[in-house]
Amino acid sequence: MCDVEGAQQLMSQTRVLCVENHPEHLGALKYMLETAGYEVTAATNGDQALHLLTTLDVDGVLVEYDLPDATGSAIRAEMKRIKPDVPVLLFDGIGSQTPFLLRFLDAYLQSPARLDSDLREVD
């Protein structure tokens, strides 16, 4: 069984790529994710996000559906082609659903099955 300090340490090592083209929304998402204990890397368009995905080790991705250079679904498809095991969650704007979206991502990234898999890789 994992103690609370160990779980917090693992969470703080979890990197999320957040893709949002509106700076005010990106700032809010980044703040919420960092407050939850994640390390956040930000991108403002699809090309930048794809470049970061190929150069960084990320555990999950949040992608705004309406990006200036592509649809989020096209970016998601390319991300899954590049790194099929990294979860990519699409969202459409910031609003009342945002806390639920972030809890959903958090629950997936911290799920026991995923945590066990990550711990086996460390051993």
pLDDT in tens, 41-63: 999 999 999 999 999 999 999 99
pLDDT at 113: 56
pLDDT tens digit sequence for 58-93:
999 999 988 999 998 999 999 999 999 999 988 887
Buried b (16+ CB within 10 A) or exposed e, 25-53: bbeebbebbeebbbebbbbbbbebbbebb
pLDDT of residue 32: 87
Q: pLDDT tens for residues 99-122?
A: 767 777 777 777 645 444 443 444
Boundaries of every domain in the chain: 28-96
The answer to whether residues 61 and 19 touch, using CB atoms and an 8 Å cutoff, is yes
For residues 57 and 85, is the Cβ–Cβ distance under 8 A?
A: no
DSSP reduced 3-state for 18: strand
Q: What is the pLDDT of residue 91?
A: 84
pTM over 0.85: no
At the second CATH level, the architecture of 28-96 is: 3-Layer(aba) Sandwich (3.40)
Average pLDDT, the chain: 80
